[in-house]
Amino acid sequence: PLWLHLTYQAVHTGTGRTPPAWEQWGGKADADYVSAMFVLDNGIGNITAAMKNAGMWDNTVFMVTSDNGGDCGLPVQSSPKHVNGAPGFASNWPLLGRKCTAWDGGTLTAAFVVGGLIPVARRGTTNDALFYITDWYVTFSNLAGVDPTDDWTDPLTNIAHGIDGVDVWPSLMAGSTP
């Protein structure tokens, strides 16, 4: 089994700087989030092409997700339009909240799962079940045949804590709630 974990942090917070020419979307450096998305898109394309060329795609589950909603440091926006015509406000419309809040706008994100291990009948479908980021560790461990158990005992309380996650593969394959 191969576990490849990539985190494209520039998409998360933006760089606030002019990206190198090879990272610029359309040759323009004035939109660093757009340039970061351009790099992300090309990176995912390169990885999937390499896996297909190596004959690995048919035995692959590839997941892309975000960890939270729009930026916490910007004013909350209540509609998809710019406030007073000023760009740069976080918008998770129509959800309430943003990053650093417990509302859906701060915690509910889009994700997609692709790859050759996804049955043809499930490809292109939507799943509205509630998954949590910690569920992916358990799910991918089980798919790889690795025991996800990793109990930790708090030395101060002597209380054992298990993994906080469930295997969501059955839900992904059946379209049911885990």
Q: What burial class does residue 99 get, using C-beta atoms within 10 Å of its C-beta: 0-12 exposed, 13-18 middle, 19+ buried? A: buried
Cβ burial of 92 (10 Å; 0-12, 13-18, 19+) is buried
DSSP per-residue string spanning 110-162: -EEEESTTS-GGGTT--------HHHHHHHHHHHTT------EE-TTT--EE-
pLDDT given for residue 156 in this prediction: 94
Q: Give the pLDDT of residue 68.
A: 78
- What does the alpha-carbon distance between residue 107 and residue 174 come to, in Å, rounded to a whole number? 24
**Cβ 113 vs Cβ 62: under 8 Å:** yes
Mean pLDDT to the nearest integer, 7-11: 71
Q: How many Å apart are CA 164 and CA 142, to the nearest integer? A: 14
- Across the range 30-35, mean pLDDT stands at 64
Write down the pLDDT at residue 77. Answer: 47
Average pLDDT, stretch 15-28?
61
- For residue 10, pLDDT over 90 is answered with no
Distances from the Cα of 10 to the Cαs of 13, 14, 29, in angstroms?
Answer: 6, 5, 14
Per the structure block, which two tokens stand in for 79?
């509609």
pLDDT (0 to 100) of residue 79:
42
Write the pLDDT tens digit of every residue in 58-95. Answer: 999 999 888 777 765 555 444 444 444 444 556 677 88
**CA pair distance 173, 150, nearest whole angstrom:** 26
Who wins on pLDDT, 5 or 19? 5
pLDDT, tens digit (0-9, with 9 covering 90-100), for 114-168 = 999 999 988 888 888 888 888 999 999 999 898 999 888 999 999 999 888 999 9
Q: Indicate the pairing of strand 111-114 with strand 62-65.
A: antiparallel
